[in-house]
Structure 1
Amino acid sequence: MIRRPLANAALARRTLVPLSMLLLTTLARAQSDTTPPALAHPVSDTDLAPVFVTDNPLGSGTLFSPTSSLYGDALITRRADSIGETLNGLPGVSTTTYGPMVGRPIIRGMDGDRIRLLQNGVASYDASTLSYDHAVPEDMLSVERVEIVRGPAALLYGGNAIGGVVNTIDNRIPREGIKGVSGQVDVSYGDTNNARAGAAMVESGTGQFNFHVDAFDRETSKLRIPGFAHSDRQRAADEPDADEPYGSIPNSDGRWHGGAVGTSYTWADGYAGISYNGYEANYGSVAEDDVRLRMHQDHVAASSEIRNLSGPFRQLKFDFGYTDYEHKEIDNGVTGTMFRNHGYEARIEARHKRIDPLDGATGVQFSQNTFSALGDEALVPTSQTTNIALFGLEEWDMTDAIKLSLGARYEHVKIDPTAGGNEKFADAMSRDFNAGSVSAGATFKLNTAWSVVGNVAYTERAPIYYELFSNGPHDATGQYLIGNQNAQKEKAVSMDLSLRFASGPNKGSAGVFYNCFRHYLTEFNTGRLVDDDDQPVPAGTDDALNEAVYRGVRAEFYGVELDGTYRVFESGAQRLDVEMVANYTHARNIDTGGALPRISPLHTTLALDYAYGPYGARAEMVHAWAQHRVPEDDLPTGSYTTLGLTLTYKFHAGAPNWLAYIRGQNLTNQEVRYASSVVRDIAPQGGRSVMVGLLTVF
């Protein structure tokens, strides 16, 4: 089973990468006789918010979907050890956790294969959707902007964006001309897990030929916590002689590092470029003291854009990514399981000439990846997934106050399993799915400040390989998982409605959403306790697993999202803003009325943000209510309130600009257990922490 993926990877490198480079070269030559204009001094993203690109291929200022973005100083001071924890608490966003190193974003109660994680608009393959203990191979030190689309984004990015999209954006392929040499260095230290982190980036160019190099490194020790690792309820269920860790979480340390190189050619009406980035990680499993996970990823990307074309299309955009990912789970120094995932994804978007009052774009997306799990936890067969899709989006300016949006997508998904001699998967058969999505949106401006925005969408998601073919132990969740080879497409009707306000520094949004699913694929415990070979064992047996099967049910998600910023004081160089975010999601199985698992409770954030010239201060209070609506076999979580304080100072020392920051979290040292965490009863969040950092830009 190993030789075939390696052969496929080599074939992909020999064919797809040269083809993408040929396309990029052709696009560049098409405009190579255009002389770029003189470049102005670059504007920092802390000074001007960039155009939102993830849900806006037309480049207009109107956004129909509920969106959020994080960049500049806010991203620098918010960064955590995982992408999920970095984004946790933004409107509609929570996170999975499996210790401090592992966290994948949850949007409106949906996670896994329903949330699409992208790098610069295309997939970067890993194994994070398969298991909660698998980290996302990306460090926030290398990211300059994150964009989040809440609600269905399947129209643009496929069925597995049925819950939303998180797109991380960097400048590894420079999209604008660079003259001279610039760069930055960022170092930080956090005391709660002795976290040492650093990153450096250098960019240079002639105005047409541009180069980018970056590197990052992060190392942590065990995470310090305010009390017992196991919750009160869990300790009551533990054996009398069980070891009860106190003050820190065993095996919660780790290290990851990586870097990238990239280059591009830019001209007045576009760019073309290519980049490579690598990622290495070694971290512990907080559920198994002797298990380490070692992860490696190589990612090659190519991108190009041409603007101001003649003919029917005025803009073309091409993005391509190839990923080779591997991680090993090592138990007491012996590799027990190896996961591999390699493949490519490409997108071509063409924006047509404006046909008043219509403005629109069409596109094609195609991808193929091969996933394999070898060893003790080979719970799925080697599976190749191929996806081909067509999509289109049109916007119609009915009046100055009313704008409409209509789009559609059709995709074909094929999943081919290979047993590779493993009898457990001998009956696995190929599945084909045709999935369609349509959406409509409208925005109505009540006046210059207020608007009402509504969306309705019908989306379909094809089952992923593990929902179809699982047949093996899954120690991360304490289950023996059994897939459903006859699973149908997941179908959903989604609606959201929001009232938005924007006037100078004051802005806000109050929205409601509703999603109704047919054949929502979720895990159901059969009530049997089994061993690693799916044989029944009596209660109390060491390492017994709960047998669980994937089943399609009717389900609904609905909730409320509030966020806003109001400037209460401004005088000269001083300003004071009040910020508020509140999220609530209710999710249930319609057939039984029971709660769906790992749903965050009502969650609110209240913050005061003060600035006086180069000085900044932010005080933040977060309160989460208790979550008692849990499935029968889950334990509830308690409420908590945390306090945080961030101080910043910007200054000049010679030519470089500097930013010094200090961030305190959970200053009252509360016990925090996320309802969205599968290990919430054995691994809480960190206690009181202080992080200090220094960023220089030259």
Structure 2
Amino acid sequence: MNFKHRFTPLALAIAALPLAAAAQDAAPAATLPDVVVTGNPLASDEIATPSSVLTGPELVLRRASTLGETLATQPGMSASYFGPNANRPVIRGFDGDRIRVLNNAGASLDASSLSFDHAVPLEPLLVTRIEVLRGPAALLYGGSAVGGVVNVMDNRIPSAPQPGVSGALELRGGGAADERAAVASVDAGGNGFALHADAYGRKTDDTRTPDYDRPDGAGGTTRAERIVNSASDAKGGALGASWVGEHGYLGAAVDTYRNDYGVVAEDDVTIRMKRDKLALAGEWRDADGAVRAVRGRVQFTDYEHREIEGTGEVGTTFTNQGTDARFELEHAPIGGLKGVIGGQAENARFQALGEEAFVPSTRTRQGALFVFEEQAVGAGKLTYGARVERTSVDSKGDDVSADPRFGAATGRDFTTGSAALGAVWPLNAEWKWTGNLAYTERAPTLYELYANGAHVATGTFERGDLDQRKERGTTLDLGTQWQRGRAHFKANVFVSQFSNYIALFATGEPPVVNDEGEELPVYAYHGVKARFVGGELQGGWRAFEGAQHTLDLDAQLDWVRADDRSNGEPLPRIAPLRVGLGASWGIAGWTLRTDLRHAFKQDRVPSDDVATPSYTLLNLALSRPFDAGPTSGLFYVKLDNVTDELAYNASTIGTVRPLSPLPGRSLSAGVRLTF
């Protein structure tokens, strides 16, 4: 046993035990209904779009080193899982630029959708709340939200009065990657002003796994027990300030993100990533005239990552510098309608420099107008919306010093439109129905248009199509919800039909031989007819409640079937049918949580992929909230993958899947303090 790696979680556990043992059970605080903010500009109690929220102790216990892994067990969600450091959320089988990742409703300008090995530059340790909308949310957030929206929230720009000083500190360690992490935040204010500061640091080693056969690149395999080149070192922080008044706020924040991590597809390549951002946000509300509220946010982002070779040389540099702005105006009721009109603009300059750059430098500009209206109809309500968007994607072509690859400078312009109709209809005090019908259009991205080169991370030669047409699809989502006390049930089914769905497909051409003599299969982006069908079921109930003991049970199931209807094959990287069972046993202030997750075999794969075996993972977590004078908090210990099951993620790209199994059995612990 490696005592060095086991020491961190055990030390945290021992240090926190006196606090937990001396804690008094906190009286339950009265809470208001949890209102979803994302895609809900009128702050309605109920929205028609299927949604999930992670906050409070549940978020603390589910937090992982990446956003995708944090959300991977939510209904209808998985992760791209390019090893433990590059994980983008996947919703209902949609990934990449069909999922809109937001930070406080502002765009996350980065390069994570360009390649599976590019991380999302958002730190889960600093997040106070994550909201997920499943299904088309393009109405308010653009064509790249056709699969859904993930909105990561924090308090870096305070929007409410801050009396006195408060803060939080969290220490955590252990796990399969021998994580050592700390995060601290402080909020202070008075006399109409509010201040925020935070900082974090996280280090991990190569992730431990059950023993597996790792491809050696020469046609054979070697036995391994860690994901090679998966260590990471991340750090960052932010400063923010706001003027906060009775009718609104106006504030700004500057934050920085740094992350150095290994690329699991290449044993000696490290990505050195940095992102700096300045954000301005404000709201004016509670007006009595024709305009009831105005909200706005503007962000300036400077993103860069360098891929460092084993020799220390920089192989490729990616930069993305840009501005995004978003404004919403809430109008007074007009007849039976109340709603918002808004506008959004983005301007991003993307550069790819180096011999391994497979896309040219580009400039992407987007401008959009949207409207969202809500109408009460009997006991229920209807929602209507529309959006029109203009997108320009211009390529700079070949650098004069480079080998001809991308041709002359050129550009494409697209006008896209989206429309949606939603309904929420209560049948009685316990049951309600929801429905959504949406038509969406998405402009092709820079890589779908201009890619032409070897993509080292995927081991392929990728080619775009300058004549690419915009993506078009229609989605119908139907749902029902029931709640009686602590017992609840929710079900959603959906079908998404695309007349043009842009994806990366094998061309069947002879492979391209690179400078190292490796043969790279040729793939090209082109549109096909496609259909996605699936659903999510989830429920929970209190099975037992006594003076000192409680037992809560829950279960969930999700599935997606995605087909390329032009070629008669399944679409790639789709999560299989998954079932989850959970139990939370409360005793004298402690909670023991058990999660059992089973993923069935995924053998509905295209001809250039292989089936992913089924697996069952068992996770345990022991937690205890506590109060110690002016300080309160949460202590927790987690034992993940108890049976040390060897498992692979079906949503991982096929060339990387055998290199990066899911983590093996591991112990971790942490303590979060608030004051």
TM-score, normalization by structure 1: 0.90
Counterpart residue identity of residue 376, structure 1: E
Residue by residue over 1:358-407, the C-alpha shift from the partner in whole angstroms, topping out at 9 and shown as x without a partner, is 2111101111111111002221111111111010011110112x211110
Does residue 54 (structure 1) correspond to residue 38 (structure 2)? The answer is: yes
Match of 2:115 among 109, 112, 131: 131
For residues 578 and 529 of structure 1, the distance between their equivalents in structure 2, rounded to whole angstroms, comes to 54
Residue by residue over 1:530-574, the C-alpha shift from the partner in whole angstroms, topping out at 9 and shown as x without a partner, is 4466x9xxxxx8422111111110001001210122122233464
Size of the aligned set, in residue pairs, is 643
Match of 2:156 among 166, 172, 180: 172
Residues 258-297 of structure 1: pairs in structure 2 closer than 5 A:
258-297=236-275
Report the 3-state secondary structure (helix = DSSP H, G, I; strand = E; otherwise coil) of the residue aligned with 2:521.
strand
Match of 1:443 among 424, 427, 441: 424
Check whether the contact 1:398–1:404 (CA below 8 A) recurs between aligned residues.
Answer: yes
Match of 1:142 among 118, 126, 134: 126
Does residue 693 (structure 1) correspond to residue 670 (structure 2)? The answer is: yes
Report the 3-state secondary structure (helix = DSSP H, G, I; strand = E; otherwise coil) of the residue aligned with 1:681.
helix
Match of 1:351 among 318, 321, 330: 330
Question: How many Å apart are 1:190 and its aligned residue?
Answer: 1.6
Residues 344-493 of structure 1: pairs in structure 2 closer than 5 A:
344-400=323-379, 402-419=380-397, 420-421=399-400, 422=402, 423-493=404-474
Match of 1:342 among 307, 321, 342: 321
Does residue 197 (structure 1) correspond to residue 181 (structure 2)? The answer is: yes
For residues 659 and 682 of structure 1, the distance between their equivalents in structure 2, rounded to whole angstroms, comes to 36
- Aligned partner of 2:288 in structure 1 is 310
- Aligned partner of 2:15 in structure 1 is none
For residues 212 and 552 of structure 1, the distance between their equivalents in structure 2, rounded to whole angstroms, comes to 46
Residue by residue over 1:233-275, the C-alpha shift from the partner in whole angstroms, topping out at 9 and shown as x without a partner, is x68xx746x4514111111111111000100010111111000
Report the 3-state secondary structure (helix = DSSP H, G, I; strand = E; otherwise coil) of the residue aligned with 2:334.
coil
For residues 241 and 110 of structure 2, the distance between their equivalents in structure 1, rounded to whole angstroms, comes to 25
Two-structure CA RMSD over aligned residues (Å): 1.8
Counterpart residue identity of residue 647, structure 1: L
Check whether the contact 2:75–2:557 (CA below 8 A) recurs between aligned residues.
Answer: yes
Question: How many Å apart are 1:44 and its aligned residue?
Answer: 11
Does residue 85 (structure 1) correspond to residue 64 (structure 2)? The answer is: no
Question: How many Å apart are 1:50 and its aligned residue?
Answer: 4.1
Question: How many Å apart are 1:652 and its aligned residue?
Answer: 2.4
- Aligned partner of 1:680 in structure 2 is 657
Does residue 504 (structure 1) correspond to residue 485 (structure 2)? The answer is: yes
Check whether the contact 1:193–1:223 (CA below 8 A) recurs between aligned residues.
Answer: yes
Question: How many Å apart are 1:46 and its aligned residue?
Answer: 11
Question: How many Å apart are 1:642 and its aligned residue?
Answer: 0.9
- Aligned partner of 1:249 in structure 2 is 227
Report the 3-state secondary structure (helix = DSSP H, G, I; strand = E; otherwise coil) of the residue aligned with 1:621.
strand
For residues 417 and 353 of structure 1, the distance between their equivalents in structure 2, rounded to whole angstroms, comes to 44
Match of 1:651 among 618, 626, 630: 626
Residue by residue over 1:658-698, the C-alpha shift from the partner in whole angstroms, topping out at 9 and shown as x without a partner, is 31101111100000101001121221011001110011111
Report the 3-state secondary structure (helix = DSSP H, G, I; strand = E; otherwise coil) of the residue aligned with 2:269.
strand
Question: How many Å apart are 1:428 and its aligned residue?
Answer: 4.8
- Aligned partner of 1:225 in structure 2 is 209
Unaligned segments of structure 2, at least 5 residues: 1-26
Does residue 526 (structure 1) correspond to residue 507 (structure 2)? The answer is: yes
Counterpart residue identity of residue 201, structure 2: D
Counterpart residue identity of residue 658, structure 2: D
Report the 3-state secondary structure (helix = DSSP H, G, I; strand = E; otherwise coil) of the residue aligned with 2:522.
strand
Counterpart residue identity of residue 671, structure 1: L
Report the 3-state secondary structure (helix = DSSP H, G, I; strand = E; otherwise coil) of the residue aligned with 1:674.
coil
Match of 2:94 among 90, 110, 133: 110
Match of 1:611 among 586, 593, 602: 586
For residues 180 and 28 of structure 2, the distance between their equivalents in structure 1, rounded to whole angstroms, comes to 26
Match of 1:558 among 505, 508, 533: 533
Question: How many Å apart are 1:523 and its aligned residue?
Answer: 1.1
Greater mean alpha carbon deviation, residues 631-640 or residues 566-575: 566-575
Report the 3-state secondary structure (helix = DSSP H, G, I; strand = E; otherwise coil) of the residue aligned with 1:227.
strand
Check whether the contact 2:213–2:221 (CA below 8 A) recurs between aligned residues.
Answer: no
Residue by residue over 1:108-164, the C-alpha shift from the partner in whole angstroms, topping out at 9 and shown as x without a partner, is 000000000000001121110000000111110010000000000000000010110
Question: How many Å apart are 1:442 and its aligned residue?
Answer: 1.2
For residues 268 and 504 of structure 1, the distance between their equivalents in structure 2, rounded to whole angstroms, comes to 35
Question: How many Å apart are 1:656 and its aligned residue?
Answer: 0.7
Check whether the contact 1:124–1:299 (CA below 8 A) recurs between aligned residues.
Answer: no
Percentage of identical aligned residues: 41
Report the 3-state secondary structure (helix = DSSP H, G, I; strand = E; otherwise coil) of the residue aligned with 1:463.
coil
Check whether the contact 1:428–1:485 (CA below 8 A) recurs between aligned residues.
Answer: no
For residues 672 and 206 of structure 2, the distance between their equivalents in structure 1, rounded to whole angstroms, comes to 26
Report the 3-state secondary structure (helix = DSSP H, G, I; strand = E; otherwise coil) of the residue aligned with 2:507.
strand
- Aligned partner of 2:136 in structure 1 is 152
For residues 38 and 500 of structure 2, the distance between their equivalents in structure 1, rounded to whole angstroms, comes to 28
Check whether the contact 1:588–1:596 (CA below 8 A) recurs between aligned residues.
Answer: yes
Question: How many Å apart are 1:474 and its aligned residue?
Answer: 0.2
For residues 205 and 502 of structure 1, the distance between their equivalents in structure 2, rounded to whole angstroms, comes to 40
Does residue 578 (structure 1) correspond to residue 557 (structure 2)? The answer is: no
Counterpart residue identity of residue 381, structure 1: P
Residue by residue over 1:150-194, the C-alpha shift from the partner in whole angstroms, topping out at 9 and shown as x without a partner, is 000000000010110000000001111001111110000124211
For residues 465 and 218 of structure 1, the distance between their equivalents in structure 2, rounded to whole angstroms, comes to 33
Unaligned segments of structure 1, at least 5 residues: 1-42, 536-540
- Aligned partner of 1:300 in structure 2 is 278
For residues 410 and 513 of structure 2, the distance between their equivalents in structure 1, rounded to whole angstroms, comes to 23
Report the 3-state secondary structure (helix = DSSP H, G, I; strand = E; otherwise coil) of the residue aligned with 2:657.
coil
Residues 323-342 of structure 1: pairs in structure 2 closer than 5 A:
323-332=301-310, 333-342=312-321
Counterpart residue identity of residue 447, structure 1: N
Residue by residue over 1:32-77, the C-alpha shift from the partner in whole angstroms, topping out at 9 and shown as x without a partner, is xxxxxxxxxxx99995564211020011112110000100000001
For residues 596 and 146 of structure 1, the distance between their equivalents in structure 2, rounded to whole angstroms, comes to 28
Match of 1:544 among 501, 519, 544: 519
For residues 102 and 177 of structure 2, the distance between their equivalents in structure 1, rounded to whole angstroms, comes to 28
Check whether the contact 1:674–1:680 (CA below 8 A) recurs between aligned residues.
Answer: yes
For residues 107 and 643 of structure 1, the distance between their equivalents in structure 2, rounded to whole angstroms, comes to 23
Counterpart residue identity of residue 697, structure 1: T
Counterpart residue identity of residue 450, structure 2: F
Residue by residue over 1:197-228, the C-alpha shift from the partner in whole angstroms, topping out at 9 and shown as x without a partner, is 11000110015111000001110011111111
- Aligned partner of 2:4 in structure 1 is none
Does residue 632 (structure 1) correspond to residue 607 (structure 2)? The answer is: yes
Match of 1:667 among 642, 653, 660: 642
- Aligned partner of 1:186 in structure 2 is 170
Greater mean alpha carbon deviation, residues 384-393 or residues 678-687: 678-687
Counterpart residue identity of residue 317, structure 2: M
Check whether the contact 1:320–1:347 (CA below 8 A) recurs between aligned residues.
Answer: yes
Check whether the contact 2:212–2:646 (CA below 8 A) recurs between aligned residues.
Answer: no
C-alpha change, 1:263 and 1:295, in structure 2 (3 Å) is: same
Counterpart residue identity of residue 345, structure 2: F
Question: How many Å apart are 1:499 and its aligned residue?
Answer: 1.2
